[in-house]
């Protein structure tokens, strides 16, 4: 019996076949798109891997066959990569017939663990090698990614760092000054041998053990340690800080230290480190010199009084010849100048020690400047320099409260200094004004302070360009201004010259 398909059944089969064909076509196109995307991604990955500086990469199968190699592998093994892929790695790279016993790829395949080693390339460069096993779904190693990192420069830097550390360690151990570091609490972190000996210990280990339970670095006055730490917080570096310390036996000695801040990984202050010098002998010598100076100053005043009085007595005689009278007057003037110098040095000594007692009275600065001008008239004439003055015209504006003798000495030093520094034929300017803060006096000349001394202009014994200079003029002037509760500053340049600015408390008008 013959059965025939109904038209409806045939149409249904046709539609089903067409649907299957359409889905097959879509799946084929989708698979081709995925394959194309995968190929593009592989090309991208390979391009990235080929261009990684200092990194060589091999993908090795479980049978040691090289599946893919990056461009940098040529530098690592010294062969073109087209001659490597598809061949056993031990054969084409090492020239062996079987993996060597210490092969990191063999170890990674066998253990399933990452393996590391170092190898030397044919061009003499060093490589750190890392073999990373790749496992399938069942946990079996199916391939190994073999990375090589060029560590030649890293090894060179490490060697240089080691040499630098050795040099620093030798300097640290053999330095003739104390070197140390401490944390914020004052606990020692490191000490060199000289530092330990300075404090009476035989070695750093003994001092570290002895001070482990105590802190604050053995400061005789803990406030000085707090002050030093405060300065480190503010400035980051402190130089020439003098402080009194305590040795192992309890004796005390003076030190000078230069330190800089230590910061942690967050940038926070963690302590400080630096070096320290024992200045006990220098301090003792300074104290002795000051005592001798003070005694000499006092002892010289007695014979000088007689030297000045004797010409005074002889000048009263009417029988003196003009030449004899002139000689006696010269002796008297020289004695008075010497006495003034001794008195000035005594005042300077008192100012340095903070022992000068200031007697306040109204002082007219304009009159003091004019007196200085008269006293220095010969020097003004010899250098062909004039003194130009301009002051605040308000009544009483230029009257300050202070000691007239001390202020005269201050102005005489500063004006003489300006006169000596001024180019010949130029003018020195002195200007003054008053405001709510007091009186401001400016002394200007066209000379420039030398670069090597401008930052230390008001320090003791600092001088330049003067064969007979002592370096005490500006120093004593700064002390005098400070004793009056004022301020002094200097500004200098080749174009504008030099200006000294004094600010002094004004006397009530």
CATH number listed for the domain at residues 361-504: 3.30.565.10
Q: Which residues pair with 402 in a beta bridge?
A: 361
Which tokens sit at 186? 């004052």
Indicate the range of 94-108, 296-310, 423-437 predicted with least confidence.
296-310
- Who contacts 140 (Cβ-Cβ below 8 Å, separation ≥6)? none
User: Residue 35's pLDDT is what?
Assistant: 67
DSSP string, 26-92: HHHHHHHHHHHHHHHHHHHHHHHHHT-TTEEEEEEETTSBEEEE-TTHHHHHSS-GGGTTTSBHHHH
Tokens 């230290």 correspond to what residue? Answer: 257
- Who contacts 188 (Cβ-Cβ below 8 Å, separation ≥6)? 180, 181, 182, 207, 208, 211, 217
Fold of 52-151: Beta-Lactamase (3.30.450)
- Distance CA(193)–CA(178), nearest Å, equals 7
User: Residue 328's pLDDT is what?
Assistant: 82
Average of pLDDT values for 167-193? 88
52-151 with 175-278: one CATH topology?
yes
Parallel, antiparallel, or unpaired: how do β-strands 427-435 and 386-391 relate? parallel
Closest to 344 in 3D by CA, of 235, 473, 162, 200: 473
- Distance CA(441)–CA(321), nearest Å, equals 47
User: Residue 46's pLDDT is what?
Assistant: 56
Give me the numbers of helices (H) and strands (E) for the chain, helices first please.
15, 17
Q: Tell whether the model's pLDDT for residue 235 goes beyond 70.
A: yes
- Who contacts 144 (Cβ-Cβ below 8 Å, separation ≥6)? 59, 60, 105, 108, 109, 131, 132, 133, 134
- Distance CA(163)–CA(167), nearest Å, equals 6
- Distance CA(243)–CA(254), nearest Å, equals 6
- Distance CA(292)–CA(286), nearest Å, equals 10
Contact 102, 116 (CB under 8 A): no
Which tokens sit at 306? 């007689």
Compute CA 143 distance to the chain's CA centroid, rounded to the nearest angstrom. 55
Tokens 């009483």 correspond to what residue? Answer: 396
Judged on CB neighbours under 10 Å (0-12, 13-18, 19+), 238 is: buried
Give the length of the chain.
509
pLDDT in tens, 467-497: 545 567 888 888 889 888 899 999 999 999 9
Contact 328, 334 (CB under 8 A): no
Phi, psi of 72 (to 5 degrees): -70, -10
Looking at the structure, give the CATH architecture of the domain made up of residues 175-278.
2-Layer Sandwich (3.30)
Indicate the range of 68-72, 223-227, 384-388, 475-479 predicted with least confidence.
68-72
Indicate the range of 108-117, 126-135, 277-286 predicted with least confidence.
277-286
pLDDT in tens, 359-392: 788 999 999 999 889 888 888 888 999 999 999 9
Contact 501, 442 (CB under 8 A): yes
| Segments making up each domain of the chain, as ranges | 1-41, 52-151, 175-278, 289-352, 361-504
Closest to 236 in 3D by CA, of 256, 275, 262, 217: 262
**pLDDT higher for 92 or 289?**
92
Q: Tell whether the model's pLDDT for residue 188 goes beyond 70.
A: yes
User: Residue 432's pLDDT is what?
Assistant: 95
Q: What is the mean pLDDT of the chain?
A: 82
% residues pLDDT > 70 (the chain): 83
Contact 272, 179 (CB under 8 A): no
Q: Tell whether the model's pLDDT for residue 47 goes beyond 80.
A: no
């Amino acid at each position: 019996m013959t059965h025939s398909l109904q038209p409806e059944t045939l149409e249904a089969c046709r539609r089903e076949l067409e649907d299957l064909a359409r889905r097959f076509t879509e799946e084929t196109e989708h698979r081709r798109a995925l394959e194309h995307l995968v190929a593009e991604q592989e090309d991208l990955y390979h391009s990235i891997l080929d261009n990684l500086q200092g990194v060589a990469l091999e993908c090795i199968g479980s049978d040691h066959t090289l599946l893919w190699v990056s461009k940098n592998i040529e530098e690592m093994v010294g062969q073109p990569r087209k001659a490597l892929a598809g061949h056993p790695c031990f054969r084409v790279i090492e020239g062996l017939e079987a993996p060597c016993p210490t092969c990191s790829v063999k170890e990674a395949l066998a253990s399933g663990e990452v393996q590391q080693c170092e190898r030397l390339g044919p061009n003499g460069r060093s490589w750190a090698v890392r073999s990373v096993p790749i496992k399938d779904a069942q946990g079996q190693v199916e391939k190994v990614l073999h990375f090589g990192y060029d560590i030649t420069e890293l090894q060179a830097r490490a060697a240089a760092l080691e040499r630098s550390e050795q040099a620093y360690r030798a300097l640290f151990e053999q330095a003739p000054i104390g070197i140390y570091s401490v944390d914020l609490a004052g606990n020692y972190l490191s000490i060199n041998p000289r530092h330990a000996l300075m404090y009476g210990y035989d070695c750093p280990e003994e001092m570290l053990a002895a001070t482990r339970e105590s802190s604050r670095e053995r400061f005789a006055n803990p406030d000085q340690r707090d002050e030093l730490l405060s300065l480190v917080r503010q400035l980051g570096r402190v130089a020439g800080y003098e402080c009194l310390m305590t040795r192992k036996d309890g004796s005390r000695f003076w030190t000078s230290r230069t330190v800089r801040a230590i910061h942690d990984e967050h940038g926070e202050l963690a302590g400080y480190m630096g070096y320290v010098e024992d200045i006990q002998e220098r301090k003792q010598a300074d104290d002795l010199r000051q005592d001798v100076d003070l005694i000499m100053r006092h002892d010289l005043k007695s014979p000088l009084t007689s030297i000045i009085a004797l010409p005074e007595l002889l000048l009263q005689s009417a029988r003196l010849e003009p030449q004899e009278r002139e000689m006696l007057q010269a002796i008297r003037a020289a004695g008075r100048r010497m006495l003034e110098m001794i008195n000035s040095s005594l005042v300077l000594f008192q100012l340095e020690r903070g022992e000068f007692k200031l007697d306040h009275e109204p002082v007219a600065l304009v009159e003091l400047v004019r007196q200085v001008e008269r006293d220095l008239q010969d020097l003004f004439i010899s250098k062909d320099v004039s003194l130009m003055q301009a002051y605040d015209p308000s009544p009483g504006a230029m009257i300050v409260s202070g000691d007239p003798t001390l202020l005269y000495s201050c102005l005489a030093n500063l004006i003489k200094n300006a006169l000596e520094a001024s180019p010949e034929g130029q003018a020195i300017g002195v200007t003054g004004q008053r405001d709510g803060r007091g009186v401001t006096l400016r002394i200007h000349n066209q000379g420039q302070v030398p670069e090597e001394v401008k930052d230390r202009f008001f320090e003791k014994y600092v001088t330049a360009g003067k064969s007979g200079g002592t370096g005490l003029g500006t120093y004593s002037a700064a002390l005098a201004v400070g004793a009056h509760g004022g301020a002094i500053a200097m500004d200098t340049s080749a174009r504008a010259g030099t200006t000294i600015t004094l600010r002094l408390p004004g006397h009530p008008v």
